[in-house]
């Protein structure tokens, strides 16, 4: 609980007018007051968070894939088919690794003492990125609202330093609400499509290959080369990148109905028709709150936007928070049991927390009230 600072004890009322009634029983005088007021309930802090970061994102750009040409493992004998020829096994390949079952299409493939073949494959690679720079939203605001103010005062016959001693009881009711719209999640997906250019080089070993085009057979005979290439080069050529983006949007809100009851001793003094009352005591605040959060996660790709998930969170409850208050009343006696005046009150109580889904609300109920009052003195 926050204590009221000593300097707040000198409170200047702000306006005039709340209805009061005054009853006199023996030497006691009773008044009833009513009027409108503006009330600052306190401070609300919203620490907003979302559920999107824990959601398993589907791929909106397809999947990873790998398509290799039929060229086999360069370190293992195999039947290899290229875009411009072939190198396959024959009956003796398993014994010495050589083969006459090969062919090629262009004279340009003969490069010195080597024979070069090309083949084409493809590959798609998925990658993603989450914007970790974003964090949950935060806000800090004062809660203000209009409130009807009711007050019962009793002034006794005893006095102290010119002030008559009595007591006062009051009631206020205020409705306040606050909301926060935010987006705290963003992610991207990418699919990179590559063409795979294979280049395999075979050693001719000093043989002079037949003129292109040449097509050797399994049965042979023909010039022999190794079934294993002496070098394989694979070049990735980027052809296209597909992209998708993800983001969320959320709004969190809290509604509160605040009822407050005050009770404390008073000191009252009059100078002609002008009256001043100062009071201090305890205040009981009753908070009936309701919190909500709405969130949606959207993904966008080349086909347009789509909603991937929605969440709705709701919670409510009642909180009781006692505290202390200090109030001053300034009135003017208009006659016929009627007075007009104003009041100013400051109060403090312990904070409380509420929640709606992953978002939390922290309320510090220390504020002030100011308003008019019409006072009626009971006969």
**Last residue in a domain, options 199, 224, 243:** 243
Residue 80 shares a structural domain with residue 204: yes
Q: What's the number of domains the chain is made of?
A: 2
Residue numbers of the domain that contains 221: 65-128+189-243
Both 231 and 359 in one domain: the answer is no
Q: Are residues 350 and 263 in the same domain?
A: yes
Domain assignment of residue 203, yes or no: yes
Asked whether residue 304 falls in the same domain as residue 283, the answer is yes
Looking at the fold, whether 22 and 36 belong to one and the same domain comes out as yes
Which of 293, 295, 302, 301 minimizes the C-alpha distance to 187?
Answer: 301
User: Measuring CA to CA, how many Å separate 174 from each of 13, 142, 148?
Assistant: 20, 14, 8
- pTM for this predicted structure: 0.74
Examine the domain organization and report whether 47 and 168 are in the same domain: yes
pLDDT value of position 133: 55
Q: Is residue 330 within 8 Å of residue 340, measured between CB atoms?
A: no
The secondary structure of 23-67 as a DSSP string is: -EETTEEEEEEEEEEEEEEEEEEEE---SGGGS-PPPSS---EEE
Instruction: Confirm whether 76 is domain-assigned.
Output: yes
The predicted pLDDT at position 134 comes to: 66
> Is residue 1 included in any domain, yes or no?
no
Q: What is the DSSP letter of 205?
A: T
Co-location of 269 and 303 in the same domain: yes
Three-class SS state of 137: coil
* Sign (positive or negative) of CA dihedral 269, 20, 38, 166: positive
pLDDT score, position 160: 86
d(CA 67, CA 296): 37
Q: What is the pLDDT of residues 327-371, one digit of tens each?
A: 999 999 999 999 999 999 999 999 999 999 999 999 999 999 999
**Same structural domain for residues 46 and 157?**
yes
In a domain, 46, yes or no: yes
**The pLDDT of residue 217:** 96
* Mean pLDDT per 10-residue segment, the chain (379 residues): 36 35 60 96 94 93 96 96 97 94 97 97 92 75 95 92 94 96 94 98 95 94 96 98 95 96 96 96 97 97 95 96 97 94 96 94 94 94
236 inside domain = yes
Q: Could you say which of 198, 215, 243 is where a domain stops?
A: 243
Q: Is residue 34 part of a domain?
A: yes
Are residues 239 and 287 both part of a single domain?
A: no
221 and 350 assigned to the same domain: no
CATH number at residue 306: 2.40.160.20
183 and 287 share a domain?
Answer: yes
Regarding whether 270 and 229 lie in a shared domain, the answer is: no
User: Which of 243, 259, 288 delimits the end of a domain?
Assistant: 243
Rounded to whole angstroms, what are the CA distances from 207 to 75, 82, 222, 230, 318?
Answer: 22, 21, 11, 16, 95
């Amino acid at each position: 609980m926050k204590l009221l600072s000593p300097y707040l004890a000198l409170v200047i009322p702000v306006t005039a007018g709340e209805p009061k009634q005054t009853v006199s029983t023996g030497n006691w005088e009773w008044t009833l007051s009513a009027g409108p007021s503006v009330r600052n309930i306190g401070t609300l802090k919203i620490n907003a968070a979302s559920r999107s970061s824990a959601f398993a994102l589907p791929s909106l750009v397809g999947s990873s894939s790998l398509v290799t040409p039929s060229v086999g493992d360069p370190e293992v004998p195999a039947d290899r088919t290229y875009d411009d020829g072939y190198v396959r096994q024959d009956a003796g390949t398993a014994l010495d690794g050589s083969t006459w079952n090969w062919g090629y299409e262009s004279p340009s493939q003969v490069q010195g003492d080597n024979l070069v073949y090309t083949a084409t494959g493809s590959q798609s690679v998925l990658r993603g990125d989450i914007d970790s720079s974003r964090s949950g939203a935060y806000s800090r605001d004062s809660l203000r609202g209009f409130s009807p103010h009711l007050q019962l005062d009793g002034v006794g016959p005893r006095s102290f330093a010119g002030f008559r001693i009595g007591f006062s009881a009051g009631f206020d009711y205020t409705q306040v609400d606050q909301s926060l719209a935010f987006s705290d999640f963003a992610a991207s997906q990418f699919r990179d499509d590559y063409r795979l250019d294979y280049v395999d080089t075979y050693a001719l070993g000093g043989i002079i290959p037949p003129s292109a085009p040449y097509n050797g057979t399994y049965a042979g005979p023909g010039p022999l080369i190794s079934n294993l290439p002496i070098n394989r080069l694979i070049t990735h050529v980027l052809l296209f990148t597909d992209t998708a983006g993800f983001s969320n949007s959320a709004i969190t809100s809290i509604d509160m109905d605040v009822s407050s009851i005050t009770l404390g001793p008073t000191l009252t003094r009059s100078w002609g028709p002008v009256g001043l009352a100062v009071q201090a005591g305890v205040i009981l605040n009753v908070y009936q709150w309701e919190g909500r959060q709405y969130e949606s996660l959207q993904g966008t790709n080349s086909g347009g936007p789509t909603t991937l998930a929605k969440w709705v969170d709701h919670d409510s409850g009642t909180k009781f928070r006692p505290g202390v208050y200090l109030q001053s009343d300034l009135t003017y006696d208009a006659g016929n049991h009627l007075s007009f005046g104003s009041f100013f009150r400051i109060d403090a109580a312990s904070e409380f927390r509420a929640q709606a889904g992953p978002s939390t609300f922290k309320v510090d109920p220390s504020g002030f009230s100011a308003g008019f009052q019409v006072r009626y003195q009971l006969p």
